[in-house]
Amino acid sequence: MNNTLILPAGYQPLLGIQETERAIKALKDFVELNLATELNLSRVTAPLFVKSGTGINDDLNGIERPVGFPVKDLKGERAEIVHSLAKWKRLMLEQLGFEPGYGLYTDMNAIRADEQLDNTHSLYVDQWDWERVIRPEERNLAFLKKIVCKIYSILKRTEHFVYERYPNIRPELPEEITFVHTEELLARYPTLTPKEREQACLRECGAAFIVGIGGALPNGEIHDGRAPDYDDWTTPTVNGYHGLNGDIFVWNPVLNMAFELSSMGIRVDPATLRRQLEIRNCTDREQLYFHRRLLNHELPLSLGGGIGQSRLCMYYLRKAHIGEIQASLWPDEMIAVCRQHRIALL
């Protein structure tokens, strides 16, 4: 069993299983409606799998293996279960003809077979994947922060929605979200690891958008991995920093940890794509379908991200394990240990 499993002392679920299921439905409906309204998004249907070798699937950190299978009626061509829809969404923006200021969202379901299973990570991933067309003058940090604040306003609204229905779940989020760059975190906590820096920062501020994830830090390391072909993590911004992307974190009072809810960013343009493919030594991807279309200026400029559905419900309902929200597979030992600590995995 994964030795990073967190077992909160004295943990007692605030909602029973049936009430939790009803709360999950209400929560998801509320967030989905607010996301669509706040960001001018229309719902579209998402694929569960895409063709291998097209460059459409999300490569995450570049080491995770997609679950794949041959398709009989496509002469044995392989399909692969999506990791996320980071690049597929941009193709859809062009295909469906969205104008600047408007975009799409979808219910994304994925399988990540190489995920290390613990309180917050599952083989099964469900998130709202969203993407919105932007203008050239909006490819900047100020515009990214504006969209982050819109999303944070949804998180605050949702907190009140939950509190109205379950008064024993007290609001925890600060009034405003803190913006901090990965280089600032390194300077502030030079002896800590990236995860420890997140922990220290979120313990202090309660909610933060950590900017510039994926780009090289002054010590030669990266804060966390990012694929080179969707988020822009190299464009210069302010104070010598780089990156037009980041993650939204909140402080989780049950697990006593920094808790990621969303990853998002302004997407690469052709010049940035070439630069980041060179940095990652994978310029051969320029020949893939998605990358050719982007480099040929056939896809709109965009900003987008993903918001974890089970993660969000886990946070708002004060659950200790993502398996209390979604049905997945867990090691027998983990199931037994969780049961001993009143954590009922579905």
Which positions are catalytic?
Answer: 58, 112, 127, 247, 260, 263
Enter the tokens of residue 133: 């067309």
Helix (H) or strand (E) holding 179, with range, is strand 178-181
Q: Which residue has the tokens 């600060």?
A: 174
- Report the half-sphere exposure of 174 (CA within 13 A, side-chain side): 16
Residue with tokens 């719902």: 43
For 10, left (φ over 0), alpha (ψ -120 to 50), or beta?
Answer: left
Strand ranges (E), 116-244: 124-133, 178-181, 207-211
| Cβ atoms of residues 222 and 216 within 8 Å | yes
Rounded to whole angstroms, the maximal C-alpha distance in the chain is 58
For residue 49, the cross-strand partners are 81
Token duo for residue 121: 């990570």
**Please, is 255 exposed, middle or buried when counting C-beta atoms within 10 Å of its C-beta (0-12, 13-18, 19+)?**
buried
**Residues 34, 32: Cα–Cα separation, whole Å:** 5
Report the distance separating Cα 59 and Cα 141, nearest Å: 24
Residue of 62, 29, 117, 113 whose CA lies nearest to 335: 117
